[in-house]
Structure 1
């Protein structure tokens, strides 16, 4: 019997990568997969479409709250296969109560996100995006393009998982001093030449702060008015993890009073209403997002840190393996 799979928040590249992964799989069980791709997100209003499906494949902006999961359970769905690492958009307790297994892709090409993090740092610092536009217009002035040398600068890394460690390796190559904060210290991080400190020390001593931690109740809005006050004036803040780690109202205030000198975001707290869709002909209703992108020292990318051929290929194969073998199941602590 074929296993019916509903695939949500689908883009053309998702179809291409997953279809290729199915064709290249050596497992006979992939031949018994019947995938239906849906372009729209999975939420309570679209969950009834899952009637008759065994598995739903979801992404970061799908809303798998208790109501959505209740409907999935009534549709006889047995497995939510996340094709991402984070699972803060899933009510895990509700899924457990409904006897729906939840799996994820806990680690995929950490260098992919790490390299995007460095790209944000370098672009903000050296103003290459502004220089590109100037030169195309025949303007070769350097006024307003001055950056700073990364060598010998102190960078704070919040979260030293696989991505955090990949960022540290690159920064150490630039000759940066790296301070880290994580509830679980990793000896291999120390071997790279980084030092663990408390969060207050990291905030106060870092010229650049980059976030690489999961979104939990404890980490929600960890960057707020109070934490910004502890940072150096003109600090560079980078977030390629989860939008909810930062309070965007506090960011705006920090930018206005020049506490934040540079801001690079690949994620946004309410990105599910914006990202992965062409909204160039719409009037965006999120006032905070609109205000953020008016600042000349702010660079926002639309959650593309994961977006390389290598990472997508790995995500596809791990997701399919999770469906077949039940790997990487999320469990309650």
Structure 2
């Protein structure tokens, strides 16, 4: 089978080609799938897309008319795909079950520490040979409170790092994660978590219930 992959980044290409070598032929494109590029997929029974693809009803109908029967998305998120239309058209949709939770949690911590320690501002000043420390003071994470909204695999990994810093843990989720409880996490209402946490991190899927999580009234 020949597969057409949309939105393939330079560092993805060798990984994709290696994964399909000797099994299926794969053609990689750097353009994202949308209404303008969908006709390119004509004749391909299976395509691969990225999270940047726009699989609205018109795109799906174009794909189905061209013979596409399967869409494999290279991401865990799938809110960019109209699943009801895909089902009506008889198309199979697949996605990645989960990424490395550690890579996402560690990157979230990288951003948090960069903000706390004013890394970007300090780097800019240093590049300009400005070595003043004014406005660059951060705060110790040790002894402070981390609030984790969403305590699945990624939230748990984030909490473990916070625990390593010596932070207190507050959690909010539809169900408690026993591993987080073992770390000392206390599950509390969202309003209390936001009020008492020094650092708040979100690790929840985009659903109707979470779309305006930070602005929803109690």
Shorter-chain TM range is: over 0.9
CA distance in 1, matches of 2:23, 2:127: 52
Provide the secondary structure at the position in 2 that maps to 1:12: coil
CA distance in 2, matches of 1:185, 1:95: 34
1:108 to 99, 108, 111: 99
CA distance in 2, matches of 1:63, 1:157: 30
1:18 to 16, 19, 38: 16
1:170 to 155, 161, 184: 161
The answer to whether the 8 Å contact 2:38/2:59 transfers is yes
CA distance in 2, matches of 1:5, 1:85: 20
1:220 to 195, 211, 214: 211
CA distance in 2, matches of 1:22, 1:217: 36
Gaps of 5+ in 2: none
1:264-309 deviation per Cα after TM superposition (whole angstroms, max 9, x unaligned)? xxxxxxxxxxxxxxxxxxxxxxxxxxxxxxxxxxxxxxxxxxxxxx
Provide the secondary structure at the position in 1 that maps to 2:169: strand
CA distance in 1, matches of 2:40, 2:64: 12
CA distance in 1, matches of 2:42, 2:63: 8
The answer to whether the 8 Å contact 1:156/1:208 transfers is yes
> Where does 1:1-333 land on structure 2 (aligned, <5 Å)?
3-23=1-21, 31-224=22-215
From the CA coordinates, give the structure whose radius of gyration is larger: 2
The answer to whether the 8 Å contact 2:17/2:26 transfers is no
1:20 shift after superposition: 2.9
Gaps of 5+ in 1: 24-30, 231-333
TM-score (norm 1): 0.63
User: What is the aligned length?
Assistant: 218
CA distance in 2, matches of 1:158, 1:61: 25
CA distance in 1, matches of 2:184, 2:61: 48
CA distance in 1, matches of 2:164, 2:32: 40
Provide the secondary structure at the position in 2 that maps to 1:13: coil
